[in-house]
Amino acid sequence: MIAAGTLSLSSFLTLGLAQAEIGPPEKEDLKFGFIKLTDMAPLAIAYEKGYFEDEGLFVQVEAQANWKVLLDRVIDGQLDGAHMLAGQPLGATIGYGTQAHIITAFSMDLNGNGITVSNDIWERMKPNIPKDADGRPVHPIKADYLKPVIDEFKAEGKPFNMGMVFPVSTHNYELRYWLAAGGIHPGYYAPHKGDTSGQLNADALLSVTPPPQMPATLEAGTIHGYCVGEPWNQQAVFKGIGVPIITDYEIWKDNPEKVFGVSSTWAEENPNTHLRVVKAMIRAAKWLDANDNGNRPEAVEILSRPEYVGADYEVIANSMTGTFEYEKGDKRDVPDFNVFFRHHATYPYYSDAIWYLTQMRRWGQIEEAKPDSWFMETAKKVYRPDIYAQAARSLIEEGKMEASEFPDFDTEDGYRDPQTHFIDGITYDGHAPNDYLKKFGIGLKGDDKI
């Protein structure tokens, strides 16, 4: 009770005053889950660099079989927290899929995904793609160039299948965004009619495949392309299975990707532990981006160990060290392909949450119209910048971080300025989600219902 009292009091204090010191952790032995993707890096680094131990926490990090297992284990308490898809806490809280109140006070990274197609599809797309002076394809490659291939599939009466990692994953929304921007309908969900396949009216049929199995499924011909995080796009290039054609950085520059999710009951029971976890993760994120990605080679070595991501060093290094290899040999600089700390990457912006909610509405996962206020309230229920700010202030006070490295907590309202860097040129303003939905040619808006 006393701790809770100080917490709420401290949030009213202005920055000039001393912050109340964070009390001892309520729970010291913790187990966090992750999926074998490079963007779990903050967890690995916080463990390996001893940041968790600095906070008096004894953490085990454990790879999980898939996103569903991971979420279920966070809900039933087998895991204290986990590396989650940004859409997972939101989806769970509004009751799409499994119903449970999950919150996040820490956003794990920006960008980091790519879309890969099989060699065969790439050969059929290639003639449509404009070339630059050196004869290399001009990037970003739009879905417009894939459309003729899909039309051929349709004419032959064959389904065009693509893989993504989870119904509420960033990858699902990014792949849909990219396809729809090129005039390819990715299909609607209709949960009120019991249809959760997301393939109603679809030109391209999307289905769930666990990330590590993407290359194998592509090679088997079950899917013709996929959207997934690293290292599974670079893996396809290395093994000569497929060709990554676009990164999510080019679909939406600096899009929020994974979050660190915990159940809201857990957060209420363990407020000090939660703050300390967030502190350790902020330090890890900072380390990952420090000295202009200077620590990345070491991070890649850590991630390539079998207990973390486990893929080969070269494969992980390809994207983690500021480059991205598209077609074999076509390696280009994408310095911001993986962002862990720059651009306030770790701050849980309400506007990021609202973007995900707009996409859930756009594709029918939210079956009916919701007022703007609903979007904002839901974001506030799940995204907790207040906890983040308290953890950050404690780090500043301990001299481990500078105030300039964070948003100005006194004035920050949790909404990014309207964002313009989308592949279709549409501007996103988190304050007006319903207006935003009206700008899309393909997708539900207003009172539309399936």
Triad 64, 43, 324: Cα angle to 5°: 90
Interatomic CA distance for residues 402 and 171, integer angstroms: 34
- Distances in Å between the Cα of 17 and the Cα atoms of 7, 23, 322, 385, 399 are 14, 18, 40, 20, 15
How much of the chain is helix, strand and coil, in % rounded to 5?
45, 20, 40
> Considering the rule CB under 8 A, would residue 56 count as an interface residue with other proteins?
yes
Q: Which is nearer to other proteins, 113 or 419 (CB)?
A: 113
Q: Which two tokens stand for residue 38?
A: 């490079």
Question: What character string, x for contact with other proteins (CB under 8 A) and - otherwise, covers 123-152?
Answer: ------------------------------
- Judged by CB under 8 A, the residue of 69, 205, 432, 450 near other proteins is 69
In the bound complex, what is the minimum distance in angstroms from residue 25's beta carbon to other proteins? 13
Residue among 60, 67, 3 at smallest CA distance from 32: 60
Q: How far apart are CA 353 and CA 375, in angstroms?
A: 9
Question: What six digits make up the tokens of 338?
Answer: 């993986």
Q: Does 212 bind other proteins (CB under 8 A)?
A: yes
Return the number of the residue (37 or 206) whose C-beta is nearest other proteins.
Answer: 37
Q: Pairing mode, if any, of strands 331-333 and 323-325?
A: antiparallel
- Contact set for other proteins, span 225-284 (CB under 8 A): 235, 239, 241
Q: Which of 195, 219, 397, 412 binds other proteins (CB under 8 A)?
A: 219
- Per CB under 8 A, 21 contacts other proteins: no
| Closest approach of other proteins to the CB of residue 30, in Å | 9
| Residue count, binding to other proteins (CB under 8 A) | 31
Task: Look at the block and give the residue holding tokens 């850590």.
Answer: 302
Q: Does 425 bind other proteins (CB under 8 A)?
A: no
Q: Which stretch binds other proteins (CB under 8 A): 61-69, 117-125, 144-152, 259-267?
A: 61-69
Give CA–CA dist 32/82, Å, rounded: 5
DSSP states of 346-361 as a string? TS--HHHHHHHHHHHH
Question: Judged by CB under 8 A, does residue 165 bind other proteins?
Answer: no
In this chain, which of 13, 58, 221, 438 binds other proteins, going by CB under 8 A? 58
The residue (of 29 and 123) whose beta carbon lies closer to other proteins is 29
Choosing from 63, 129, 403, 432, the residue that interacts with other proteins (CB under 8 A) is: 63
The interface mask with other proteins, positions 296-325, x = CB under 8 A, is --------x-xx-xxxx--x----------
Does 216 engage in binding with other proteins (CB under 8 A)? yes
Q: Are 232 and 212 in contact (CB under 8 A)?
A: yes
Alpha carbon 281 to chain centroid, angstroms: 16
**Side chain identity at residue 299, one-letter code:** A
Binding site for other proteins (CB under 8 A): 28-29, 36, 47, 50, 53, 56, 58-60, 63-65, 69, 76, 78, 212, 215-216, 219, 235, 239, 241, 304, 306-307, 309-312, 315
